[in-house]
Structure formats: structure tokens, C-alpha cells
Amino acid sequence: MDEPQHVNISGMVNGSRFESEVEPRLLLSDFLRHDLQLTGTHVGCEHGVCGACTVLLDGLAVRSCLMFAVQADGRNLTTVEGLAGDELHPIQTAFHEAHGLQCGFCTPGILMSLVPFLRDNPDPDEQQIREALSANLCRCTGYQNIVAAVQLAAKKMRA
């Protein structure tokens, strides 16, 4: 059997340049976790349903378990590790203050989904928040504190 073909890819992740040689079939989630050691991107269902693997690709929320690493070539990626700068992002602060997490497995994907949601909807009502959260599965909470955290994050980001 022939050796798998490899492809050179490069781009930006969390503000830093990356260059790598990958197999064309390597999933973006596996590339982030194993090659770049960005383990904040969690892998849950591996079918794009749970949202745990959500990252930003050129500012849009995507499921990294449904993409190949080669699709990120020349693109700008942001993972949960890149969300905070010197201080926590307002969404992270709000989740801490409103007790919006329990085990934390779903949290990175939820946070990354909320970045573009709150950018595009700076003053969402509860129904819009619940609809946005429906793309992320949390098995520990009843979502009430998560909704409260999103409301607090929106308020912080508007200030």
C-alpha cells in the first residue's frame, strides 16, 4: 500500500502563524488537538451535532469535526485558547460570574458559538439566546445559568 499523500497547509491560529504537512483526510479538530496541542477544542459526537468542537474560521462558527485541516489552508482560525487576551473575554467573565458551566466539556464550543452570535446580535432576547444555544448540547445543566450568562455577556459587551 502506498504512503498517504501529504499536503502543506498554513494560516493563522489565535493570531500566530502555523505551517504543517497533513494527510488530506485529517480532521480539523484532530489537527488542532494533536498537531497544534490546542486541546480546548473538544470532540464529542464527531457528527457535528453536539457543538463541542466549534471554532471560528474567518470569524464564523464552524464544527471542526466536520472539516478537514486542508480546508483551513490560508484561513484565520480562533479556538477557545485565543479568546482571552491579557484578560478574559467578556463572555468568559460572564460565564464565571453567572455560573454558566458545570463540567465544562461543552463550554469551549458554546463560547465560540456565542462570539459571532453576540457580535451580530448585541441585544438578544431570551428566545434568540435559546435558539442560538440549541446548536450546542450541554448534558449537565438546564441551560438557565447559561442563558443568564449570555444575557450578562451581551450587557458587558454593549457597555
Q: What is the pLDDT of residue 1?
A: 61
pLDDT-derived band of residue 113, with 50, 70 and 90 as boundaries? Answer: very high
Give the residues across from 15 on adjacent strands: none
pLDDT digits (tens, 9 = 90+) for 129-154: 999 999 999 988 889 999 999 999 99
82, 106, 133: which is the final residue of a domain? 82
- Structural domains counted in the chain: 2
pLDDT digits (tens, 9 = 90+) for 22-35: 999 999 999 999 99
d(CA 114, CA 102): 17
Query: Does pTM surpass 0.75?
Result: yes
* Mean of per-residue pLDDT scores for the chain: 96
Write the CATH number for 125.
1.10.150.120
Structural domain of 100:
90-158
Establish if 1 belongs to a structural domain.
no
Contact 49, 137 (CB under 8 A): yes
64, 82, 100: which is the final residue of a domain? 82
Q: Which of 93, 91, 96 is nearest to 133 (CA)?
A: 91
pLDDT digits (tens, 9 = 90+) for 48-74: 999 999 999 999 999 999 999 999 999
